[in-house]
Amino acid sequence: MIFDVDGTLVDSNDAHAAAFVEAFGEFGFRIAFESVRRLIGMGADKLVAQLIGRSDKALAERKKALFMARHLPRVRPFPQVEPLLRELACKGVKLAVASSAAKDELDALLELTHASVCFAQIVDGGDAARSKPDPDIVRAAVDKLALPAEQCAMVGDTPYDAAAARRAGLAFVGVRCGGWLDADLQPAIGVYDDPADLLDSLDSLVKDRGSARQTPS
């Protein structure tokens, strides 16, 4: 199982959007919070280009600095994240992270889960040429797990996660806690409220995935 982090395991999407608005403002751009929020889940390079018509590495770096200094201290994991990850690990499920975040930012976010030790592989934005919704980061996680794509599923909270999973050949499991509607999280084999809801449904989900792998095509 390959996990996104922001909006999936930790409640950080609004914080990222706020940091982007602040960074845009410092660079002379007045961008509404709502315009940024709907793009959270893309890589920063794509988000910036979408809103101002070009990439801007300095602006993206400033956003990251603002997020780490002003917003990260208030970010918290969603309920039951640690039990979910530990239960999956106990069931023998190999776990990985696939995030567009930079390594230092991702490490800080994973520390909030108190269960980063459960992840066999961690893939960040530096491990892939293209950020989400391109599939590169997800494919890198699959490669590091040394498993075929059909034996993996990705858990994420945005349509950009769903697109990356689909293009990498993975089944997708959506969670609503990032702020998106079920219709936005398709195609998915299931959509759950949050990690706590996923934990409650884990036995059936893992069983269903196991049965799917054994069914001839």
Q: Give the CA angle between residues 125, 195, 211 to the nearest 5°.
A: 90
Q: Which amino acid is at 133?
A: P
- Identify whether residues 33 and 95 lie together within a single domain: no
Q: Are residues 111 and 189 in the same domain?
A: yes
The domain of 157 spans 2-10+76-214
Across the range 133-152, mean pLDDT stands at 97
- Give backbone dihedrals phi and psi of 132, rounded to 5 degrees, phi first: -60, 145
Residue 40, helix vs strand vs coil: strand
Predicted confidence (pLDDT) per residue in 63-114, tens digit = 999 999 999 999 999 999 999 999 999 999 999 999 999 999 999 999 999 9
Residues 107 and 204 in one domain: yes
Are 185 and 130 members of one domain? yes
Distance CA 11, CA 7 (A): 5
Asked if 121 and 172 sit in the same domain, the reply is: yes
| Tally of domains within the chain | 2
Burial class (CB in 10 A: 0-12, 13-18, 19+), 52: middle
- Is the pTM higher than 0.75? The answer reads yes
Distance, CA of 78 to CA of 11 (rounded, Å): 6
Residues 108 and 204 in one domain: yes
**Separation between Cα atoms, residue 104 and residue 186, nearest integer Å:** 30
Nearest CA-CA partner of 180 in 49, 169, 172: 172
